[in-house]
């Protein structure tokens, strides 16, 4: 007589644990693949890109826009140099990159100078390849910085060579980085600047030229934004802290 097999309760539990572990592993692998090759989320902790990006904005960066380097992989764990499937960034792109001085801190700025360009600031005005870049006064702008101070810079429309027109803020034309030497962008490097011109640490000082290898990706769109007025436990305040008008906005 044939014997029927019986699955014990402990076997069922072991199968359940195994399935759970497998699901977790597959989920993590999918997340790593998406983060490495497609999109990675970032948040904005400082005001260097105001008014384009505000403190408390959350955005997606496309990892495939400029190809891949070791910095495309979480924690830059794969040791190789250069980029594969490289596509050249365009002037005016808003880009996340690794700070060249430590190769681990994430910065986000606007691409101003391409390889071979000359860039300088004179009396608060931007010159690229000897050409004065047009800016048009738009309106006064008011915001509160991360220290709680109210700032009242002027909002300008700046037209970069190639056709990108974007907003910048200027508190004056005689600030620390408003007069610089002429920078010559080396091959394989880029010159980055913040849109909040008088409150940005960028290629004019400290950051320097950014190697192509350090590019992480292009900022694409916002998926969340909060003004910081509600703490994580203050659930009742969340609806009033969320900047609904910014969600799903593209980044120009």
The reply to whether 214 falls in a domain is yes
Q: What's the number of domains the chain is made of?
A: 1
Nearest CA to 195 out of 42, 44, 43 is that of 44
For the segment 28-55, the average pLDDT, to the nearest whole number, is 85
DSSP 65: B
pLDDT: which is higher, 161 or 23: 161
Alpha-carbon distance 155 to 138, whole Å?
5
Under the banding of pLDDT at 50, 70 and 90, the label for residue 47 is: very high
Catalytic residue positions, numbered: 48, 109
Residue 182 located in a structural domain: yes
Count of C-beta atoms within a 10 Å radius of residue 205? 11
With respect to residue 1, please indicate whether it lies within any of the assigned structural domains: no
Instruction: Classify residue 42: in a domain, yes or no.
Output: yes
Give tens-digit pLDDT for 155-199. 999 999 999 999 999 999 999 999 999 999 999 999 999 999 999
Question: For 38-154, where are the alpha helices, taking DSSP H only?
Answer: none
Structural domain range at position 52: 15-246
Distance CA 195, CA 174 (A): 16
Q: What is the DSSP pairing of strand 118-122 with strand 125-128?
A: antiparallel
Whichever domain contains 134, its CATH number is 2.10.109.10
Does a structural domain hold residue 223?
A: yes
What's the whole-model pTM score? Answer: 0.85
- With respect to residue 78, please indicate whether it lies within any of the assigned structural domains: yes
Residue 231 lies in a domain: yes
Q: How confident is the model at residue 128 (pLDDT cuts 50, 70, 90)?
A: very high
- What is the average pLDDT across 212-224? 96
- Within-domain flag for 196: yes
């Amino acid at each position: 007589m044939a014997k029927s097999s019986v699955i014990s309760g402990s076997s069922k539990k072991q199968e359940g644990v195994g399935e759970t572990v497998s699901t977790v592993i597959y989920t993590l692998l999918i997340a790593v693949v998406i983060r490495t090759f497609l999109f990675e989320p970032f948040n904005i902790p400082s005001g260097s890109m105001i008014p384009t990006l505000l403190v408390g904005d959350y955005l997606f960066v496309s990892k495939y826009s400029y190809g891949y380097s070791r910095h495309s992989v979480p924690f830059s764990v794969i040791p190789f140099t250069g980029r594969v499937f490289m596509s050249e960034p365009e002037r005016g792109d808003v880009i996340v990159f690794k700070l060249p001085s430590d190769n681990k801190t994430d910065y986000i700025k606007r691409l101003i100078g391409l390889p071979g360009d000359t860039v300088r600031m004179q009396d608060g005005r931007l010159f690229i390849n000897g050409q004065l870049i047009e800016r048009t006064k738009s309106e006064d702008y008011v915001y509160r910085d991360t220290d709680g101070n109210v700032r009242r810079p002027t909002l300008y429309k700046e037209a970069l060579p190639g056709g990108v027109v974007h907003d910048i803020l200027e508190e004056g034309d005689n600030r620390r980085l408003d007069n610089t030497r002429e920078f010559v962008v080396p091959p394989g490097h880029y010159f980055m600047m913040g849109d909040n011109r008088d409150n940005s640490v960028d290629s004019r000082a400290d950051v320097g030229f950014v190697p192509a290898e350090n590019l992480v990706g292009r900022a694409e769109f916002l998926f969340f934004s909060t003004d910081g007025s509600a703490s994580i436990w203050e659930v009742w305040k969340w609806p009033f802290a969320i900047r609904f008008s910014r969600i799903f906005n593209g980044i120009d």
